Amino acid sequence: MNETDSLKSRYTALTQKGLNLNLTRGKPGADQIELAVGLDDVLKGDFHSVDGTDTRNYGGIRGIPEIREIGAHLLGIGSDQVLAGGNSSLNLMYIVVNMLVDRGLCGSPLRSNQSRSAICPSPGYDRHFVAADQLGFKLLTVPMTDTGPDMDQVEHLVRTDLSTNFIWCVPKHSNPTGCTYDTETVDKLAALPAMRAGTPDSPFYVLWDNAYSVHDFAEPVPVLDSIDEQASRHGTNDYIVQFASTSKITFAGSGVSFIGGSERALDEIEKYIGAMTVGFDKVNQLRHARFLQGPEGIKAHMAKHAEVLRPKFAAVQRGLSEELGNRGIANWTDPTGGYFVSLDVKPGTAKRTAELASAAGLAITPAGATFPYGDDPMDSNLRIAPTFASLDDVESAIEVLGVCVRMAAEQ
């Protein structure tokens, strides 16, 4: 039996196993969620925040002091630069992008009769792209490198095309490649808004979704430069808006989200949000502050997550190496944190790979999902999300995936 036949017979055998495997979404596993079970009854009848607020009642868009300290730690800024929100940082991003359109942030609103566009380093986070698309932004793809977005292309766009309004960034353990932006990239990103100093009607924003700031599971732990400090040097702080959340720290669907920004930006955002809600859930903010306690508590808690995640990510590396190593048909990332492994298969075969996987009982994120409009021009990138499945399932799934990648490459 030659290698092709052997591959086919392995694939046939796999399809006949009746597998039901899923590597689609970046959800924490049940064992990770369980780590925060103490969150639910941490309050013990004491609902008052350190400033005396009864968190159960209405009011307070900015959030209670102790949870803003947690957000400050996640973002590496001062708590006076933090607004604490509800259970969804994506929602805060959506609100801010919506605000750019209809209100403006530290500047003019984007004119409704002009085209607007968002720079989308890709592969990237599909929900960023979908949110911007719904808000009427054209999605412009720029390549993601190992050190962050291709800044030559980004700078060219910002310099030459006034219809570009902002860039999406996941600066640490980026979704899905796992890369962390290097010093030069952070500095160049912080400088982008200054390129529009001469055209104040067309401000440019950097939306900094630091979703994985404390989500390390292996060495070396990358160090992300402070974009806030770089922005201070460039005088661009009003145009850098940062985001974080506890969703992948405590309960994925019931965490606390954060915005980090300049005093002026936060004041404007707070006022804007004040027309759409009386306030976020402060009881849940208090639960989180009491449960996480502070930097040391977060560090200890994230170490427990790392224990759960490390074997799963190791299984992905081991499986991919076994099936695809040294064949010249695939490359993949080896992250030390975050939630994903990014797999580049032979150009033109990502969709086919996903189809083969599906037929064999393995659901993977749709090929192309990591690119604007779900359209990967090379049809090459696949996102592997190994956190939600059990370790056994991850191992089985990666074997299936490897076989499918090879079969697709041969066809």
Binding site for a second copy (CB under 8 A): 25, 27-28, 30, 33, 36-37, 40-41, 43-45, 47, 54-60, 86-88, 90-91, 94-95, 98, 102-103, 112-113, 127, 130-131, 133-136, 247, 251-254, 272, 275-284
In terms of CB distance, is 20 or 113 closer to a second copy?
A: 113
Full DSSP string of 296-315: HHHHHHHHHHHHHHHHHHHH
In terms of CB distance, is 145 or 163 closer to a second copy?
A: 163
Say if CB 168 and CB 119 are below 8 A apart. yes
3-state secondary structure of 56: coil
Cα–Cα distances (Å) from 49 to 59, 255, 369, in that order, read 13, 17, 42
- Find the helix or strand (DSSP H, E) in which 289 lies: helix 282-292
For residue 282, what are its two tokens? 């402060």
Give least dist CB 300 to a second copy, A: 20
In terms of CB distance, is 40 or 152 closer to a second copy?
A: 40
Say if CB 209 and CB 168 are below 8 A apart. yes
Looking at residue 345, what DSSP letter applies?
Answer: E
Q: How many CB atoms lie within 10 A of CB 409?
A: 20
Interior angle at CA 310, CA 214 and CA 383, nearest 5: 80
Give least dist CB 94 to a second copy, A: 4
Give least dist CB 310 to a second copy, A: 21
Q: How far apart are CA 56 and CA 284, in angstroms?
A: 9
Say if CB 88 and CB 253 are below 8 A apart. no
Say if CB 23 and CB 340 are below 8 A apart. no
- Residues in CB range of 190: below 8 A, 6 or more apart: 206, 227, 230, 231, 233, 234, 236, 240
Give least dist CB 27 to a second copy, A: 5
Give least dist CB 30 to a second copy, A: 7
In terms of CB distance, is 95 or 378 closer to a second copy?
A: 95
Interior angle at CA 348, CA 342 and CA 349, nearest 5: 65
In terms of CB distance, is 6 or 134 closer to a second copy?
A: 134
Give least dist CB 331 to a second copy, A: 29
Give least dist CB 26 to a second copy, A: 8
In terms of CB distance, is 239 or 339 closer to a second copy?
A: 339
In terms of CB distance, is 173 or 406 closer to a second copy?
A: 173
Longest dimension (CA), the chain: 75
In terms of CB distance, is 189 or 244 closer to a second copy?
A: 244
- Find the helix or strand (DSSP H, E) in which 265 lies: helix 263-273
In terms of CB distance, is 41 or 410 closer to a second copy?
A: 41
Give least dist CB 200 to a second copy, A: 23
Give least dist CB 227 to a second copy, A: 24
3-state secondary structure of 206: strand
Give least dist CB 334 to a second copy, A: 25
In terms of CB distance, is 186 or 385 closer to a second copy?
A: 385
3-state secondary structure of 249: coil
**Residue whose C-alpha is closest to residue 309's, from 387, 219, 397:** 387
